[in-house]
Chains A and B, each alone.
Chain A
Amino acid sequence: DTGVSQNPRHKITKRGQNVTFRCDPISEHNRLYWYRQTLGQGPEFLTYFQNEAQLEKSRLLSDRFSAERPKGSFSTLEIQRTEQGDSAMYLCASSIYAGELFFGEGSRLTVL
């Protein structure tokens, strides 16, 4: 499978714990995006990488959120001190061309 891969697919955690999600984009894609999707809503942009550089961050991305793409390949999204409001589907996407995003299946976070 050469699509975008996300792990874990589902994470259940207690409030206050840290969680990390991983995204492996399509290998030749230099652009990588993280989005968050809550029930009944469309995806909301969180952050964007071009190669290893994090070029844009949404105001939605509080200080508890950090994302990295250390070698311009896979990316991680860490949420520290999780809150119940962080419960959502976290989507990773990659692209070469403007706007034509290829999405992974998402990582669903449930904070108890």
Chain B
Amino acid sequence: AQTVTQSQPEMSVQEAETVTLSCTYDTSENNYYLFWYKQPPSRQMILVIRQEAYKQQNATENRFSVNFQKAAKSFSLKISDSQLGDTAMYFCAIPRSGAGSYQLTFGKGTKLSVIP
């Protein structure tokens, strides 16, 4: 069974600084996607970044980048130049093994607060 572990329930960062959110996972799949989703307070969850496991190059989307270590099953999210709008819950997610629907298994989330 899939497990996704986010070991940091809460984190804070000063505006304009860099923060890294950690995620480890377990899967029996060899080719899969990994995702980071953001859930701002009282707003819908949105996709931040996606990584394909067969790609060695780490994904980057503007200020967001990942450090993907396949052997270690680690998938951390780095947010550079943090902005107040980055304050949110962040969830790491992987598709459930054998699920043709690509239903996702989510971690418990990390609550990030960006401090002015």
Contacts and interface: CB of A to CB of B under 8 A. Distances in A.
The reply to whether chain A is a binding partner of chain B is yes
Contacts of B91: 42-43
Contacts of A33: 101, 103
Interface string B13-39: 000000000000000000001010100
Contacts of A42: 4, 91, 93, 106-109
Interface string B49-60: 010000000000
A4 B45 CA distance: 11
A92 B13 CA distance: 31
A98 B95 contact: yes
Contacts of A55: 100-101
Interface stretch (A63-71, A78-86, A100-108): A100-108
A2 B86 CA distance: 23
Given A4-B44, A45-B96, A98-B95, A56 B101 contact: yes
Interface residues of A, number: 26
Contact of A43 (B43, B45, B95, B99): B45
Contacts of A7: none
B84 interface: no
A100 B93 CA distance: 11
A106 B44 CA distance: 7
A24 to B, nearest CB: 13
Contacts of A56: 99-101, 103
**A-B interface, 5 closest residue pairs, ranked by CB to CB distance from nearest:** A42-B106, A98-B102, A48-B101, A103-B45, A45-B103
